[in-house]
Amino acid sequence: MTPPSGLRDTTECERRDLLPPGYRVRDWTVTDFIGSGGWSTVYAARPADGYPGRTGGVAPAGMPTGRADVALKIMPTAGYAPRQTRRIVESARREVELGRRAGHPRLIGLLDSFVLAAPDRPSLDGAIVLVMERAAGSLRELLDAGVAEADRPRLIAGICEGLAHLHRSGWVHADLKPDNVLLGTDRSVKLSDFGLATEMTGTHGYAPPMGTLDYLPPERWRAPLGELGVQVRPSADIWALGIIIHEVFASGTSPFAGATPMARGAAVQGYGEGRVPLRLDPAVPPFWRALAADCLAPTHAARAPHTAESLLARIAAEQGTRGTGAGRLRGRARAAVLATALCGIAGATLWADTVRANPSAPPGGAEAKAGAIRVFNAEKGCRERADRDRQCSLGLAIDPRRPYAADNVVATRVWHGDVLAADCQVSDGQPIINEEDQQSTRWFRVRLPSGSTPPTAWLPAVRTKDRPALPGCPVPTTAR
């Protein structure tokens, strides 16, 4: 199989207008920016008027007592191609569904969810907002700062507790990594980011073809993509746990060598095929080496007996022998952990279609005539249709530097194969992603049929394979 492409850029999220402190999101007031990822931005917030939706200052069910701060995970839907929008909505649905049905002290709490009405900010109008329990930091930050030796068993045990509950409840996390292991103010461990979490039917479930390359088990690199997605099972989470155990005890290093996620992925595949042995860092103590090795068994069948519950029992027995409680963290975590909740979608990768658009790349196929560009629809089903069904039509923007939303699209529609006359281009327009997750900020100004109002419109470069040499052009004052 062709290995996954590189990690998905987060440019489109990073370039969106950030909400300033004091901005009101329904019943919440933004206090600070926390982080951004491919599909979402996370802010710290507190109730705008006491506690939202309550009188007399009574906290809603699930709200941590004594602390009003929450994390708002905002997932915009404007400006994305239909396939991306569907993925965003599905990701949010998974988080909400799991949050409502599988609550547990080792899972980050979901307090509320709603669709944002923001007419003053078109790029956020219609965004999905998840109101989440605010964490104090993440395992990734702790790894960067250095994990105290006394804290390591507690961290691993906490992850096992969360996984054991998830798996008992019939769910697979499917994107377990240090970034998605959050730490409470009391140093408790909480799993987070359930956008890829999958409910099982029997022994397995189906997830989108996404994940973080460094934590994918060998079978995921070869898994066929069906109509429902790729098949995932709890053993995928156990593999990721094995990587995390090694990172915790080996100063953040992966057990698989390589300078990039792709190189480490190649090492994982070689190990899964039996071509290379598993090499664990000598810094990992014997008990934890054995635990990590069981988690990193090369096949699902060999990994399946090592459930989260059985691993937790082994940890409890080991810590009991040493006179410590498996669920008690000895000492305080390092102060270097920042008070933040993370945008866990960052680092997720679409492993079949993350090729980025390259504005300087030569056009695919025959070279276009000067000034002529042929419309390309990345939806294969639409390319194969001979009719001009409106569901397969594509919009042209009024202003390339405004969000590509309904209020910024002309009435004229275009279809795959249409040839348009272009006279100039801009290279710093709104970032646009198509159905194949190609992204570009380049836009072409095209002429509309005689009598059209306005007479010209803008086609994003990801909607054509052609790259004609065109002069730059200013955006008309009326379009600003």
Which two tokens mark 282?
Answer: 């000598």
pTM, rounded to two decimals:
0.61
Looking up residue 182, the CATH number of its domain turns out to be 1.10.510.10
Interval 386-418: pLDDT, tens:
888 777 888 899 999 887 766 788 888 899 999
Determine the Cα–Cα distance for residues 374 and 420; give it in Å rounded to an integer: 6
Same domain, 310 and 401: no
Determine the Cα–Cα distance for residues 423 and 417; give it in Å rounded to an integer: 19
pLDDT of residue 185: 79
Asked if residue 5 is part of any domain, the answer here is no
Q: What is the dihedral angle through the alpha carbons of 366, 369, 373, 378, rounded to the nearest 10 degrees?
A: 0
Same domain, 334 and 190: yes
Cα 347 to its chain centre, rounded Å, is 6
Domain carrying residue 385: 372-479
Asked if residue 366 is part of any domain, the answer here is no
pLDDT of residue 379: 77
Same domain, 177 and 312: yes
Determine the Cα–Cα distance for residues 460 and 441; give it in Å rounded to an integer: 8
Last residue of a domain, one of 350, 384, 404: 350
Last residue of a domain, one of 133, 152, 176: 133
Asked if residue 163 is part of any domain, the answer here is yes
438, pLDDT greater than 80: no
Last residue of a domain, one of 101, 133, 165: 133
pLDDT of residue 86: 80
The amino acid that residue 142 corresponds to is L
423, pLDDT greater than 90: yes
Percentage of the chain beyond pLDDT 90 is: 43
Predicted confidence band at 65 (pLDDT cuts at 50, 70, 90)?
Answer: very low
What is the number of alpha carbons within 13 Å of residue 85 lying toward its C-beta? Answer: 11
Same domain, 66 and 90: yes
Partners of residue 112 on adjacent β-strands? 131
Which two tokens mark 416?
Answer: 């795959």
Asked if residue 294 is part of any domain, the answer here is yes
Same domain, 385 and 332: no
Same domain, 177 and 83: no
Same domain, 190 and 274: yes
177, pLDDT greater than 50: yes
pLDDT of residue 105: 87
pLDDT of residue 335: 25
284-303: b (≥16 Cβ within 10 Å) or e:
beebbbebbbbbbbbebeeb
Same domain, 150 and 286: yes
Determine the Cα–Cα distance for residues 128 and 80; give it in Å rounded to an integer: 14
Same domain, 148 and 65: no
Which two tokens mark 456?
Answer: 């010209």
Same domain, 290 and 213: yes
Same domain, 267 and 141: yes
Predicted confidence band at 139 (pLDDT cuts at 50, 70, 90)?
Answer: very high
Number of structural domains found in the chain:
3
pLDDT of residue 251: 93
Q: Which of 267-271, 296-300, 345-349 has the lowest mean pLDDT?
A: 345-349
Asked if residue 43 is part of any domain, the answer here is yes
pLDDT of residue 38: 66
Looking up residue 64, the CATH number of its domain turns out to be 3.30.200.20
Interval 311-365: pLDDT, tens:
999 999 988 766 544 334 333 222 222 222 222 322 332 222 222 223 333 333 3
Same domain, 129 and 141: no
pLDDT of residue 176: 96
